[in-house]
Structure 1
Amino acid sequence: MNSKILETLEFDRIKGQLAQYLVSAAGHRELTQLVPQTDYEAVKELLTETTDGADILRLEDGIPIPQLADIKPQLKRLKIKANLNGTELAQITKVLQTSMSVKNFFDQMREKKIKLRVLTTQVDRLVTIPSITQRLVRSIDSDGRINDEASAKLHGIRQLITQTETEIHQQMERYTRGKNAKYLSDPIVTMRNDRYVIPVIARYRNKFGGVVHDQSASGQTLYIEPAAVVETNNRLRQAQIEERQEMQRVLIELSQMIAPYRHDIGQNEAILGHLDFINAKARWAHDTKATLPLLSKENHVSLRKARHPLIDPQRVVTNDIKIGEDYQAIIITGPNTGGKTITLKTLGIIQLMGQSGLFIPAEEGSTIGIFDNVFADIGDEQSLEQNLSTFSGHMDGVKAILEQITSRSLVLLDELGAGTDPKEGAALAMAILDNIGSKGTMVVITTHYPELKVYGYDRAKTINASMEFDQETLKPTYKLLLGIPGRSNGLEIAQRLGISLQVIDEARTFVSDNSQDLNNMIGDLVEQRKKAREESEKLAKLVAKNEKVQRDLDEKLTRFNEQRDKLYEQARSKANHQVSMAKKKADRIIHHLRQLEVQQGGNVKENELIDAQGQLNALHHDNPRLQHNSVLQRAKQKHDLHKGDAVLVKSYGQYGELLSKRGNHKWEVQIGILKMEIDENNLEKVAKKDLPREKDAKRRPRAAVRTTQTRKTSARLDLRGHRYEQAMSELSNFIDHALLNNLSTVTIIHGKGTGALRKGTQQYLQSNPRVKSFSYASPNAGGDGATIVNL
């Protein structure tokens, strides 16, 4: 693609924005080489890479790449068998470390089932050398300093240096802290010529002996190495020389160790730079809210709410721009400062960005073409050096464009034909447009010539457009209006700027009626278009809101159906379980009756039959789905209990009267001379007229009163594992049956646990007037986990 278009549309400024996100020298090198591509598959590949980068940024906060220096010079030096210094080795070490960490990062993404499109194959090309990387990390610090662990000898030498320096400081303390300190200008130990010395007042130089290494500017202080320290300093100096020699040997060894891998290291640097560049594209797209463009092989461009990336996002106005499918030429007319040139540049820069593999500043769903070249003639082309006027400069640029365009090119021309006689300029502009159209090239131009409005209306595949002006304020809104030619607002603007009304009226007389009618017609079109756009935006917001509500409702309905099915399944399972348990209980009751029948010779007592019937009744569970059944409603009324109601105690088959309610589900019932606390599930309301009449009762032969067991009752009740409400209900029934069976002492086993059952049991026993006394069982019989009750 021609380099002039990159300069005209300021493509380098876009690259400058990307540079802020790069952290590697290789990434910066790739950015400098970034140019728009003209091959469909190449552009698709670049955009796919950027999409992968955007996914990684969204899911994992980007690829972990640190600051990486340029190591190409180091690799060239290794090629000629030169030795690297510590800093250079540290920079290569960082590349090797980053290669390993990036590989591990992508392996972890695979484990997380995060699928990428193309980046995985590139990462697989990274070469890791774990053993050499570990040796480099152990030997070289991040700032290039050679570590003690680089070699055993270096470690020993540095230990010797430390010990010798300590010994020197101990020797020096005799001079800086003892009686000799008064001969020093300052009681400190310092360095001169890489040897430890003390600052001695000049007149006392003979007090210490040794070697004078330096003196102060005034000559009053001499820096003396005392004779007693000379030998120790010599040893230190020798150790330091050995240290430098060993460090040099280590650098040579490490350089020779990595030299065979220089090609792999260079490839790693390039791959990491490319990943860094993809990271930068993704971060830039995120921060600028750019989106992935769709690609059209037919070069059908459709940009939705496109904006220029170099204009402040708070001030930029978005526009819909379309070309290629229904028309291949757009003629934008209208006065200056309306935004015509910015619209040209927006279309051009977005095309360059998309063809460079960058996301574009437009809404999702926007489409770009793949042009073999983009040409533009924008701005003032006059040149004093080349003796070109504005018109000549433009014509020179247009001539070069006409010589290069093809059917797959895009041409952007600003103020075509300007700078000469309006009639000739308009004619020349129409001829140039015909020439461009004959080659099938797409073109967008801006102009002031009214003749081109008619041209745009008459020519096939050509459409007029304009930049919207507010008719009341006569200020531009910078909105592109496709299909409507620009209206001339010169007289209105002049009047607004203060030109006298007399001048304005006279000017209007010079304008033909047809021109005024055309302006009025265009004004009406603009106003209608504005109202239509506002209505469309309002409807779009309403549709978006309704779609969101619909999605929420669909989601809630789906969740409701899932929850309903889940509850139905749980209910079916629970019901099946309850049916199974009820069947087992019924079988046990029937088996017990058969045993009684066998034991008593076929004469089962009536009260035992009543007891069994009560137990069978207790197995009944109402179906909640039948709560609106009219038959069940009548049955439900039988359980609408109130004080004074006549009831049938189902488990005993006896009639009684409700005295008062006890708790949530129990009633105190008067049955003959007995008062009993009975669960409301065991009660059924009856009409008092249905009670047995007194005279019928008198006719019945009075049976002899005798105490008999009403059911097979044990003297022990085990409440462990029961819920509180169920346990209290069973305790009440148990005490009632124990009284009816003349049991004087019973045992309640409630366990220890949280103490809830024990406390509830004692509260019930305290409130029951038929309980004489109660106490905990003996330690060997359960202790405070059981209560002995005397009735």
Structure 2
Amino acid sequence: MISIHEKTLQDLEFSTVLEQVSEHCVTHLGHLKTLDIAPLKNKEQLLKELQVTNEYLSSFYNDNRIPNHGFDTISKELQLLKIENTFLEPHSLKKIVSISLTCNEIVKFLKKFEIYYPGLKAFSSQIEITKALIESIDAVIDRFNDVKDNASPLLNAIRQNINKLKGKINSSFTSALNIYHNLEYLDDIRESVVDNKRVLAVKAMHRRKVKGAIMGGSKTGSIVYIEPETTLLHTRELNNLEYEESEEIVRILKQLTNFLRDYLPLIENYQLFLTEMDVISAKARYARSIDGILPEITEEKNVYLRDAYHPLLYLNNLKKKQKTYPQTIELDQESRIIVISGPNAGGKSITLKTVGLLQLMFQSGLLIPVHERSKVSVFDRILTDIGDNQSIENQLSTYSYRLKQMNFFLKKCNKNTLFLIDEFGTGSDPELGGALAETFLEEFYARNAFGIITTHYANLKILASEKPEMINANMMFNERTLEPMYRLALGQPGSSFTFEVAQKNGIPYGLINRAKKKIERSKVRFDATIAKLQKERSRLEKTSESLKINEKKKQTEADKLEGINEKIQKKLESYQELYDDNQRLIYLGQKVNDIAESFFENNRKKELMGELFKLVQIENSKRKKVTAKEKKITKEKVTQVKKEAEKKVDVIREKKKKAKEKAIVVEKPKPILKVGYRVRMQDGRSVGSIDRIEKNKATVNYGLFTTIVSMDLLELVEAVTLKK
């Protein structure tokens, strides 16, 4: 059974993630429910939660957006429905109508688009679609939240009597108003309204002359408001009718509320369903904000987080417009435990927290910000020891607290456990603390647990290099600038760069040298070797990155050429089809032309007509075999190819035209034309001979006719000498 300790949630700041998720809720109940999200204890339920969240996320990127799920909370209405002899007010009834309509719309939508949202469809199948609630309430309450006149025959009759009585009251009041106005007993304003009743604005000096009930007066005392005696009797009757009306309304509302009590479980399910939809929507919207996805879930323990981001750091840096560095890390059977080392402020702790927080989010049904080729597994326990855990209340030091944590780890640790320990072994004497930490790590290893620790202790780095299923890792460091690169490199331990960082921060070189002499030479040599290896790895990383970029460029070029080749091949095929089609038409044209030429010269006209008819029948039978759809496709294809060909021909013609215009015409030496020379017009085809020449004009004989042409327009074909 999956069980995640509350301390783990605190260490990894899981509550902060939930607060960010809850900001995407649109209802109060959804907001509260989101804050209560916790790692799921059942794997089957976890997979369902992940599926529906992933489906909702996909709705943001397709044309089938899930309908709005917002609603007004009906918790108070549900409480009243549980109490007998109570009734719901019209506005409360309308809230139930609204929530019913929303549920019905979403359930129908998910049923219609089940192929896109199978998980959400299965989740919504528990909700019954009914119009009974909506119809029963709409039959009684109008769109202004008032009880309708036809809600009952008695209410209809009472309201008709009220309207008639109000008419009588208005008529009586108008009559009294006119009488007293003519007597000049009224003030300039003539009338006013007091307690929702029309009253006469009588001058104070005439108040005894007006019969009726005094309802009040002006602040100055110059006006007395009087309800005329003629309307008093009708007003009392109106009060009685309005009381009867209110009693009938209460009776109708009680009757309707009693009807709704039979649907109480369904109405409760409506609110629960929409609350859950709000939570799912909030998780999907949060996933979109952090580029979260659902990675591959493996049965065997294999965690491969590629380009993983810490969501809190990512969103915080996004606001500040700062870069967040992703990490790639893998835990599997061959490397169950990773020992991360390297300088402080290099990103060791944030890498540890990233793995832990993403694992918590995944096991709570949240999508995580990783590359799509990442893999995750479910762990029964996630144990953490992160940060300064002094307990003033229990009078425990940091180290004492950490020892208690290690004892707890030893009790719970097994092959289904993921443990995360930051600065393992600190808080005590380095040698003694390091030895104890090494022993704990050996025990975790022996129990086949999975885990990540960060440390500066050399003995833990050596242990990781000796154990086959344990691996060292280091945070990359720029050896020139001594600045952290915030990238994790698996396979080698990291140097703490203690003296280098001290030198960068301005500590005198002499003091650093003295410090070096105070420690064992082997320790310095060991740390220097690690630093050298780390620098070498950094260089190899750069070379590898450069090779990858070049390889990517080559692949892009190859893909581009392949694409161009494919396009050329398709165009050649299209042109070949067009050529074949044109050749067929030319063949048909030639056949028809041959028959036409033979028709008038041949006596076998019937035979030629039969041959023509046969040719038409063959062509027609070929065309009948082609469907209308195929004809349309072929026609469109031919039209498109023709257009493309025409465009290219136009371009070629334009190029030739421009080239011709630019070309320098080399003038040929003008030959001397004489009588008898065979000539033709420039750019002409017909050849004639010169009969005579007069001035700049030549008479050219073409056989059937002669013409006089300017000598400048003629060109020599053949010089013929006349025989004398």
Query: Identity over the aligned pairs, expressed in percent?
Result: 28
Q: Deviations over 1:614-647 (max 9, x none)?
A: xxxxxxxxxxx9xxxxxxxxxxxxxxxx954664
- Whether 2:68 is the aligned partner of 1:99: answer no
| Cα distance, 1:694–1:494 mapped onto 2, change above 3 Å | closer
Q: Which amino acid aligns with 2:455?
A: T
1:721 alignment counterpart: none
Gaps of 5+ in 1: 599-624, 626-641, 649-654, 658-668, 676-686, 696-791
CA distance in 2, matches of 1:671, 1:109: 87
- Per-residue deviation, 1:356: 1.9
1:261 alignment counterpart: 263
The 5 Å alignment of 1:456-467 reads 456-467=464-475
Is contact 1:646–1:688 with CA below 8 Å preserved after alignment?
no
2:676 alignment counterpart: none
TM-score when normalising by structure 2: 0.75
- Whether 2:264 is the aligned partner of 1:271: answer no
Is contact 2:30–2:276 with CA below 8 Å preserved after alignment?
yes
2:23 alignment counterpart: 20
- Whether 2:395 is the aligned partner of 1:387: answer yes
CA distance in 2, matches of 1:565, 1:508: 77
The 5 Å alignment of 1:238-637 reads 238-311=240-313, 312-314=316-318, 315=322, 316-544=324-552, 547=555, 550-551=558-559, 553-555=561-563, 557-594=565-602
Is contact 2:194–2:215 with CA below 8 Å preserved after alignment?
no
Q: Which amino acid aligns with 1:283?
A: R
Gaps of 5+ in 2: 607-644, 646-679, 690-700, 708-715
Q: Deviations over 1:695-725 (max 9, x none)?
A: 9xxxxxxxxxxxxxxxxxxxxxxxxxxxxxx
- Per-residue deviation, 1:595: 5.3
2:92 alignment counterpart: 88
Higher relative contact order (CA 8 A, sep 6+): 2
- Per-residue deviation, 1:209: 3.5
- Per-residue deviation, 1:7: 2.3
Is contact 2:97–2:133 with CA below 8 Å preserved after alignment?
no
1:759 alignment counterpart: none
Is contact 1:90–1:143 with CA below 8 Å preserved after alignment?
no
Is contact 1:372–1:408 with CA below 8 Å preserved after alignment?
yes
1:731 alignment counterpart: none
- Per-residue deviation, 1:234: 4.1
- Per-residue deviation, 1:95: 1.9
2:120 alignment counterpart: 119
SS at match of 1:384: coil
SS at match of 2:344: coil
Is contact 1:300–1:323 with CA below 8 Å preserved after alignment?
yes
CA distance in 2, matches of 1:540, 1:42: 42
CA distance in 1, matches of 2:383, 2:440: 14
Aligned length: 618
Indicate the larger mover: 122-131 or 337-346: 122-131
Q: Deviations over 1:272-303 (max 9, x none)?
A: 33333322222221122112211122221111
Q: Deviations over 1:517-546 (max 9, x none)?
A: 333333333333333334444444555555
Is contact 2:110–2:117 with CA below 8 Å preserved after alignment?
no
Indicate the larger mover: 202-211 or 217-226: 217-226
1:48 alignment counterpart: 51
- Per-residue deviation, 1:106: 3.2
- Per-residue deviation, 1:4: 2.3
- Per-residue deviation, 1:436: 0.9
Indicate the larger mover: 356-365 or 456-465: 456-465
Q: Which amino acid aligns with 1:333?
A: S
- Per-residue deviation, 1:139: 4.1
Which of the residues 58, 63, 77 maps onto 1:60?
63
Q: Deviations over 1:762-783 (max 9, x none)?
A: xxxxxxxxxxxxxxxxxxxxxx
| Cα distance, 1:580–1:142 mapped onto 2, change above 3 Å | same
1:133 alignment counterpart: 134
Is contact 1:38–1:373 with CA below 8 Å preserved after alignment?
no
2:704 alignment counterpart: 672
CA distance in 2, matches of 1:329, 1:41: 28
| Cα distance, 1:514–1:170 mapped onto 2, change above 3 Å | farther
- Per-residue deviation, 1:55: 2.0
Q: Which amino acid aligns with 2:134?
A: T
SS at match of 1:292: coil
CA distance in 2, matches of 1:597, 1:60: 67
SS at match of 2:444: helix
The 5 Å alignment of 1:169-248 reads 183-184=186-187, 189-192=192-195, 194-197=196-199, 202-214=204-216, 222-231=224-233, 233-234=235-236, 236-248=238-250
1:36 alignment counterpart: 39
Indicate the larger mover: 326-335 or 522-531: 522-531
SS at match of 1:118: helix
SS at match of 2:356: helix
Indicate the larger mover: 123-132 or 220-229: 220-229
CA distance in 2, matches of 1:181, 1:289: 81
CA distance in 1, matches of 2:438, 2:66: 53
Q: Deviations over 1:354-382 (max 9, x none)?
A: 12222101222111111001111112222
